[in-house]
Amino acid sequence: MLYLFAEWLGFEGALNLVRYQTFRAGATLMTALLIGLLIGPRFINMLRVRQGKGQPIREDGPQTHLAKRGTPTMGGLMILVAVVISMLLWMDLENPFVWACLAVTVGFGLIGFLDDYDKISKSSHHGVSGKVRLLLEFIVAGVASWIVVSQINTFLYVPFFNDLGLELGWFYYIFAAVVIVGAGNAVNLTDGLDGLAIMPVIIAAGTFALIVYLVGRVDYSQYLGIPHVAGAGELAVFCAAIMGAGLAFLWFNAPPAAVFMGDTGSLALGGALGAIAVAAHHEIVLAIVGGLFVVEALSVIIQVFWFKRTGKRIFRMAPIHHHFEQLGWSESKVVIRFWIIAIVLALMGLATLKLR
């Protein structure tokens, strides 16, 4: 909005500065961070008063988590407010990728909000039906995929190879929607310990801020042998908004957490990462950078599948972060070690840009 406002007023100096995506990315990060820190305390108090008992805690989960009763959830609303306001202020609103990612972020956030509200109102960890939630997610992801794919081609590019792409045709629309929905739910499953999900999201957003910037530049994309997507560089500003809002949320989510992000935040952030990866034609790289989320999701899928087939469990508890808690790791040890893994995976994802 400020970009268009400066252009409309004819402020050449300001326009030249605001035109740089790197400047706007930094400004967006700081704006989202400040908004989150400013609204955080009152927002958390409001959630605490309105929710009363806070997020329901599973009785069959780790017993140490019972001490978290009374902690409010839906902290993802704070993230969404910071992201949306900073986006509207600093991003080029004429860019279709902006609206596609915004649709996923807000749409998935609304679905998560309905799920969180249902859990709180029923004082149960069972929220909206899984089938209903997936249906709504695929509707939102389908619309966003149509917007994104209409601006790019339908190739699935393979990392480590120069311009090696598989033409998927119409199936790419389905694939893109699956990536977005899968990313949203993978982050959702990771959000089980204080600070566990938000820091890897920040790391992934920072990694993709660099990737989309390079993808959006003709010179860098040609030099690196990666697909060029005109206009994708604007999503670096969006990634910066996620980073700023995420850092502000982590300030209040650090152990012991004053608030949980809930499905409102985890679905929105995961879906946003999926939409960014699709727009940048780096879906496979997302599986590397977000490998922690992939492992968390796979641990649940494998656990459920094996238990239904044999009546036995592979992990002591799923998702896998609870497995390590059952092995005797403290919550802080699990969180910090998973952060380290997220950093290593992000570096591996960045390495795919050059190793070709």
108, 264 contact by CB (below 8 A): no
The pair of structure tokens assigned to 111 is 């679905």
Element (H, E) at 156: strand 155-157
Distance in angstroms (rounded) separating the CA atoms of residues 244 and 29: 4
Q: What angle do CA 98, 214, 89 make, to 5 degrees?
A: 30
18, 60 contact by CB (below 8 A): no
Strands (E), the chain: 155-157, 165-167
Q: Write phi, then psi, for 133 (nearest 5 degrees).
A: -65, -45
239, 212 contact by CB (below 8 A): yes
Tokens 């957003």, residue located: 205
Contacts of 232 (CB under 8 A, 6+ apart): 97, 212, 215, 216, 279, 280
Distance in angstroms (rounded) separating the CA atoms of residues 27 and 33: 10
Residue type, 335: V
183, 283 contact by CB (below 8 A): no
16 in a known ligand binding site: no
Distance in angstroms (rounded) separating the CA atoms of residues 320 and 249: 24
188 in a known ligand binding site: yes
Residues in binding site: 188, 263
Residues in binding site for Mg(2+): 188, 263
